[in-house]
Structure 1
């Protein structure tokens, strides 16, 4: 499939996209070709509209938006390379999915979960990850990428998110917790020469442990780790302050003053 191969190479060379993004492009075009069963150079607008109707019955709105966006990018590329005379995606638009209300946890629920964490090494780790999720607004994947060398370089005062080029200041309490974990707990759980703070811990493992903690402390509704980071994010979204960044910092300070993380 030389056409698709050249397109992926073009996107890789010109945009420097990640491998995962390029694989999404490849998969989206292949899915479209398999459905339409036509030469990609002979596609008409009606073919794409037919495909959209199929997607609406089988995919979530955000996935549909991504797939059609990929197809539009693909045919724009073909037009620029003069492989086609007309762009069959011209004039085709997809409505954005309605914004879902973020699911959050109440302050008392977070405190109860923290209180339920065991006092052993694994419980210490769980408690620290929960505090980081609440305070930094990072995802669990980002938390699991935190490196010891970065923490040491900043005297444990900042978290570095290399994927987004972010430098996030953390509270004095969490800074001390991180340093204690690295120096006194981490090697008791998983040895080795890894530079990762939470080496040997996976997103799936934390999710399972977090859900179990919620049930153990009496939270009846279904909870997920994402709800931790959504808590502060939602408060920032609905604040009336002009300076969102300062509001976020003030809010974090209030959160940790009134009890989150007190052992």
Structure 2
């Protein structure tokens, strides 16, 4: 257990002056100042335990040991990067005030955090949600949006920017403008085409002739990003989803399910509009998780403990 040590004024006085500098000269908010103070006080406590009481004697090696300690304490790479940013800024102030001769944190980088895998929805759950019947014209629109998202792996921004002429129902294609102004043509599945056909007559009763947006609000103007997010969440709640639905969940699910079925990483990259295949490779980890589940459920040696448990139950019943 770490024991808190009362820090000497030689460490706390410059720190107090720095926080006052942030508040008065830099006009930072109280919340930002508290964040700097909290991170730097953690360093102060570590220095006291390391029997150091002067900022100017802290070395690059000392701070590398401190970063290693933060990592052992379970801080993420992002949190450690925030700590280092606070330390670098503090030493910039100490240099300005001639209370230090160098900035020992300049070339120290935080360890990389493990990349978070995107959440995906189960195929059966998505099928259940997308097969649900809409109860009114706006739900018909919502179902059309969600079918298109999942059918073609669209980003939220791509879906919101679709115009009437973006979808070619006869050709089964949708034209989207992706990141960096890059246009791509994507296939549209049968279910999504049927959903568009059901929505278009209802849309005509809401939107004026001058409105080109494919998806419009009850007022007849282009549907906003926030409204799309809200309606997707509402659909999930109304139709019994077992997790919160959001636009990226549908895009991630599209990518993962495509990769599970095809194994074609390059094709999924093209469909998603990723400039770098490394961005798409995160889905190979998801695919492996799927394969691991199949293995655990199917391989007789993987199911050994389960079989033994069943035998034990049968033996106990026989006794």
Shift in alpha-carbon separation, 1:110–1:27, aligned structure 2, 3 A: farther
Whole-angstrom CA distance in 2 between matches of 1:227 and 1:107: 12
Tell me the residue number matched to 1:191.
219
Whole-angstrom CA distance in 2 between matches of 1:62 and 1:184: 52
TM alignment of 1:150-161, pairs within 5 A = 151=163, 155-156=166-167, 157-161=174-178
Q: Find 1:64's aligned residue among 73, 79, 85.
A: 79
Compute the displacement of 1:185 (Å).
Answer: 4.9
Tell me the residue number matched to 1:213.
239
**Structure 1-normalised TM-score?**
0.53
Compute the displacement of 1:92 (Å).
Answer: 3.7
Compute the displacement of 1:131 (Å).
Answer: 2.1
**Structure 2-normalised TM-score?**
0.46
Tell me the residue number matched to 2:39.
32
Compute the displacement of 1:113 (Å).
Answer: 0.5
* Residue-by-residue CA offset, 1:79-134 (whole Å, 9 max, x unaligned): 99998642232464433233344332233322221121424123113212312432
Q: Find 2:153's aligned residue among 136, 149, 153.
A: 136
Tell me the residue number matched to 1:260.
none
Tell me the residue number matched to 1:256.
none
Tell me the residue number matched to 1:108.
124
Compute the displacement of 1:55 (Å).
Answer: 9.1
Whole-angstrom CA distance in 2 between matches of 1:224 and 1:124: 17
**Structure 2 unaligned regions, length at least 5:** 1-19, 45-54, 168-173, 209-215, 274-319
- 8 Å Cα contact 1:236-1:244 kept in structure 2: yes
- 8 Å Cα contact 1:7-1:77 kept in structure 2: no
TM alignment of 1:144-183, pairs within 5 A = 146-147=160-161, 151=163, 155-156=166-167, 157-161=174-178, 164-167=179-182, 169=184, 170-171=186-187, 173=193, 182-183=203-204
Tell me the residue number matched to 2:254.
232
Shift in alpha-carbon separation, 1:189–1:209, aligned structure 2, 3 A: same
- 8 Å Cα contact 2:121-2:253 kept in structure 1: yes
Name the count of aligned residue pairs.
219
Whole-angstrom CA distance in 2 between matches of 1:5 and 1:236: 54
What do you get for the CA RMSD once the two structures are aligned?
A: 5.3
- 8 Å Cα contact 1:133-1:143 kept in structure 2: no
Instruction: Give SS of 1:165's match.
Output: helix
Shift in alpha-carbon separation, 1:78–1:197, aligned structure 2, 3 A: same
The answer to whether the aligner puts 1:126 opposite 2:142 as a matched pair is yes
Instruction: Give SS of 1:111's match.
Output: helix
Whole-angstrom CA distance in 2 between matches of 1:6 and 1:160: 44
Whole-angstrom CA distance in 2 between matches of 1:27 and 1:138: 37
- 8 Å Cα contact 1:28-1:70 kept in structure 2: no
